Amino acid sequence: MWVFYLISLPLTLGMVTVTLRYFAGPGVPRYVITTVGYAWFCSLSFIILVPADIWTTLTGHEKGGIGFFWSWSYWSTFILTWAVVPTIQGYEDAGDFTVKERLKTSIHMNLLFYSIVGAIGLFGLILLLVMHRAWDGGIVGFAMACSNTFGLVTGAFLLGFGLSEIPRNIWKNADWTHRQKVLSHRVAKMAVKLDNAHQEYSNAIVVAQATSNQMSKRDLLRPYMDIIDKMLAQMLRDDSSFKPSGGRLGENDMDYDTDDKTMATLRRQLRRAHEEYYRCKSEYMTYVMEALELEDTIKNYERRDANGWKYVSSFRESRAGTLGSLLDTIEFIWRCVLRKQLQKGFAIILGCMSAAILLAEATLLPSGVDLSLFSILIKSVGKQEVLVQVAAFVPLMYMCICTYYSLFQIGMLMFYSLTARQTSSVSLLMICSMVARYAPPISYNFLNLIRLGGNAKTTFEKRMGNIDDAVPFFGRGFNRIYPLIMVVYTLLVASNFFGRVIDFFGSWKRFKFQREEENMDGFDPSGMIILQKGKDCIDLSEGFPALSFSLVHICIVPVLWTAYPFRIHWDFSCFSN
């Protein structure tokens, strides 16, 4: 048991650290980084503990260590997601000037949330006492079951969407023409968002400067204004290339100097406008560079014979020497031949895994029939520790990826953003809360799929209890019925049933969870013009993109085909009309 766990634990810690460094914005405080990192680490620990728990159950080994780690991981995520993270999130979002005032604002913001959760919990407890007088699970067990039920019900729909969309998107994006069309629309869309964000940031700067200019040095609110002035000066020093333009004062923009609360609002608006501008700028640059790189790849493939099957980049000078020529050939084979085929192969593998998960979910109800491929595989490898844990780890990891993919897609439409090196504290905290909230239910669902047989139960199942007994208002057999609903939902998503229904009611389009190819009629002219101008906006004198090819790409990133960091300097003036 400990071999797999001791190998996986450092890898998980390293993955969390690298992910946080990649996404966290420059202004995220250390205590937020620590909180988010710990929450992610505890959540991902479930993916490691489940395989170890399965093996100890199959072999009958001692489970004392597993029980300790389950308690640590579960209660850490439970407390973080329902109490600690919401409080820190409200604190980070507040614009007040003292720790005490920011905490008060945070608690006030969360009172409604806590009141609703408390009312639901009280109602459930009363209903439990009325309908299950002999139930002896305890208040703690009831809280665990309710939290798990929430995750199972909502997580089933998130999982179903991801099972359908992830293989589909990978397959479609392997088509260069399709991807070019998508990127042309994304670039045009992000250009509009970036322009709006620039306008809002400029307005916030103008308002802050005007408020400061009209406030006397003897004003009681002057200390608060000095803090805002220092924050603004630091923002402008960090990016000397930014020039406010088009900033205008509205009718109520000079009313911020009335009391400390309005000053806090001014500070909060300035900070949020700053974060939104650099988030949009980062996404815009990412899409532009991906589109230009894809165009480079297509041109190299079309001119493969003329170039001698060597990759000729538009973003860097040709490599010199024999080794350089060899690297150019390897890069051509990777970018123009292998990567596309690997994407398609990867999409097929994930599609088969999605089908296997749906089959396992659909056959949970007939208790005498075990058609779960994962259950059969785990039982077939017997008591071989590494094979059992790998056979459990891979599908569980995929289920987590599918669930979190859907969660991020929905959240980025409405609640938060996840942008490379520009994700704010509030977004990071909200994302970590969601990740922690769904880790236990995903694990619980997977354990239902593998059917260990007999009365064998893992430590996690014993601690989580039976939802049918803990939450009677869902009715008997809930654990076996809700997966059928998820399977039907997934098939409807895969067939685009909901898209057709919403298209029929045109006014409901804003509620539609759209795919990339929808509302896309060929290439977007605005996006193509921007990309044409973008070639002249790259300043190679400051260093080449970190895109340069190496053998690391072959060994480490055969399936990660879009996320490349770039060290490129842009002159945004060339995008102006």
pLDDT tens across 496-550, in order?
A: 887 777 777 765 544 445 555 545 567 888 888 888 877 666 544 333 333 333 3
318 in any annotated domain:
no
Outline where 60-175 has alpha helix (H).
64-79, 85-93, 99-131, 138-173
224 in any annotated domain:
no
CA distance 301 to 280: 32
209 in any annotated domain:
no
Buried b / exposed e over 427-460, threshold 16 CB at 10 Å, is: bbbbbbbbbbbbbbbbbbbbbbbbbbeeeeebbb
Maximum Cα interatomic distance, the chain, rounded to a whole number of Å: 82
What is the pLDDT, as a whole number, of residue 549?
Answer: 32
Residues in CB range of 29: below 8 A, 6 or more apart: 92, 425
158 in any annotated domain:
yes
- Type of residue numbered 209: Q
Burial class of residue 194 (count of CB atoms within 10 Å of its CB; 0-12, 13-18, 19+) = buried
- Domain of residue 387 covers 2-179+324-511
CA distance 161 to 497: 13
Nearest in space to 543 (alpha carbons), one of 569, 506, 513, 507? 569
What is the pLDDT, as a whole number, of residue 425?
Answer: 94
265 in any annotated domain:
no
Cα angle: 131, vertex 136, 142; to 5 degrees: 75
305 in any annotated domain:
no
What is the pLDDT, as a whole number, of residue 322?
Answer: 83
267 in any annotated domain:
no
Nearest in space to 280 (alpha carbons), one of 198, 206, 202? 198
Q: Quick check: 4 pLDDT over 80?
A: no
Q: Which helix (DSSP H) or strand (DSSP E) does residue 352 occupy?
A: helix 339-362
pTM above 0.85, yes or no: no
- For the chain, the domain total comes to 1
Read off the pLDDT band of 573 (50, 70, 90). Answer: very low
What is the pLDDT, as a whole number, of residue 94?
Answer: 93
Better-scored residue on pLDDT, 574 or 303: 303
Burial class of residue 259 (count of CB atoms within 10 Å of its CB; 0-12, 13-18, 19+) = exposed
Read off the pLDDT band of 318 (50, 70, 90). Answer: confident
92-95 CB contacts, 8 Å cutoff, 24+ apart: 92/29, 92/32, 92/425, 92/426, 92/429, 93/268, 93/426, 94/264, 94/268, 95/263, 95/264, 95/265, 95/266, 95/267, 95/268, 95/269, 95/271
227 in any annotated domain:
no
What is the pLDDT, as a whole number, of residue 470?
Answer: 46
